[in-house]
Chains A and B, each alone.
Chain A
């Protein structure tokens, strides 16, 4: 089992003479056996990151390594043996199945391509479906006959058919009803536990990520601005964006109005076409100082296991800081 690493990844998109810096220097690794959550709002680049991570897209700069070696060959192709070990669960499970094929046919496709199909594959497919809690009979149905929850499971089954080391999940429960989400998440967790695979769980839904991830990375405008242990990061965020994000999530009765101060982000989210010089969060940051306008902070270790890209992030001094702290006082540099 190998680790998937993104090193210094840049990905730019050109449109009408302008350049969108969708990924602007991203370092991220997922090792087998760990669940890494990636959160960010729309436009932060997380979808682009998932595509680059599974070699559906190539970075303009930087490398994507698997087991220390580049995933994509010089000529742009990806070795079959490498393809097999990193798989993707798509955001829209319905769109990810060819409407003209039955679920069974779609599941058989990767098996056949990799020479893993035994006989007509029916037994294997039945087994795969059972592993994700679906009746084997669904193999004969077309995608439009399955519910969202079932399709999502089928999508997971297909991703697991090749027994990958790493699973990248792009918003796997976003389109599901609340009561179905738990089932799907539990399924992923069970599979994770039984097989020791590494999971990159990408979502805009902080609550879901909070409950599932061990490590979490927060993205903003193409960069990871904070990364660390899941619980620790949400209990005491170091980056002002993370703090805002955490405070924006409705948490329960009565706390909403208390968190209002924390939420106050001025202005609209900028686009990746116009990333400001210096810190990209500076225009909306409640605690920005002069240095933030000129110097782009890199993601650096603040404490063991905690990384943040902020000039004002510092190690915790004594007891844990509460989430509700006054945003107007900059944190003292140690």
Chain B
């Protein structure tokens, strides 16, 4: 794996561990007021990242916020990719009118910008974590679907697919056991982008106040810090850097994995 992949993986590991251990490292509700407001970061050892304008511990919020970002990011991406793989495989393998119909639907979803669609859905369904995950998943699946469909279309022509038909395998088996595994390798690269995108959308929704108000998230922290950005820029900068690093890391890891898992080609003597 390339160096970028290792760096990204390291950061993600740190974030994951912190997210898991948050209740231990920062017990209690992170939204509690615990100290004097606007303590600057890196000064007070008790509050390494300082406090916000309401006196909440930035460090605690950061750690708990990691949980939301990761959970939403991963769950939404998993949903998007799952739907995308299903749609892409069916469309590519079955072809004909089903393919056309599915592709029209995909295009419809693709023409609406992900964020706007997620925004509309959360506004309509209500601002809970579950709805946010659903909204992001539904707006992000088209890219995966198209990619998978393209791979499936090309693999469908391969002789080994015909060989599977000769062996008597049923279409369903062929699509999902012979073709799909081979079609997944570009999706791995897409995972990075999708997870990163999901985290960003979640942050943006939280920024707009459309995320679960009882949970702290990095986006919410950025929104909160907006009011005092002149006097305490760290309140925006610190969660902002966290989001950026996490998205970047996911991207690097996805990229490295994609390269690694690319199919082996035969060297001709």
Contacts and interface: CB of A to CB of B under 8 A. Distances in A.
Q: Do A and B bind each other?
A: yes
Interface of A: 54, 56, 78, 80, 83-84, 87-88, 90-92, 94-100, 106, 109-110, 113-114, 142-144, 147, 158-159, 162
Contacts of B263: 99-100
B160 A56 contact: no
B159 A92 contact: yes
B13 to A, nearest CB: 29
B166 interface: yes
A253 B160 CA distance: 42
A316 to B, nearest CB: 42
Closest 5 pairs between A and B when the two form their complex, measured CB to CB: A110-B167, A144-B266, A96-B159, A95-B159, A98-B160
Chain A CB within 10 Å — which of B158, B160, B265, B266 has the most? Answer: B160
Contacts of B178: 98
Interface of B: 158-160, 162-169, 178, 181-182, 263-267, 269
Contact of A99 (B165, B169, B182, B269): B182
A158 B178 CA distance: 16
Chain A CB within 10 Å — which of B166, B168, B169 has the most? Answer: B166
Given A98-B182, A144-B265, A144-B266, A158 B163 contact: yes
Nearest to A107: B167
Nearest to A144: B266
A266 to B, nearest CB: 36
A240 to B, nearest CB: 35
A96 B163 contact: yes
B265 A110 contact: no
Given A95-B159, A97-B160, A98-B178, A56 B167 contact: no
Contact of A113 (B160, B167, B264, B265): B167
Contacts of A91: 159
Decide if the interface of chain A is mainly helix, strand, loop or mixed: loop
A303 B27 CA distance: 99
Given A109-B169, A113-B169, A90 B159 contact: yes
21 contacts: A56-B162, A56-B166, A78-B168, A83-B168, A84-B168, A87-B166, A88-B162, A95-B159, A95-B160, A96-B160, A97-B163, A98-B163, A99-B182, A99-B264, A106-B163, A109-B167, A109-B169, A113-B169, A144-B267, A158-B163, A159-B166
B137 to A, nearest CB: 28
A175 to B, nearest CB: 11
Given A99-B263, A100-B182, 10 more contacts: A54-B166, A83-B167, A88-B162, A92-B159, A98-B164, A99-B182, A109-B164, A109-B169, A110-B166, A113-B167
B128 to A, nearest CB: 41
Contact of B162 (A96, A142, A158): A96
A322 B166 CA distance: 44
A113 B159 contact: no
Nearest to B161: A98
Nearest to A111: B167
A327 B165 CA distance: 47
Contacts of A109: 164, 167, 169
Contacts of B158: 95
Contact of B163 (A78, A90, A144, A162): A90
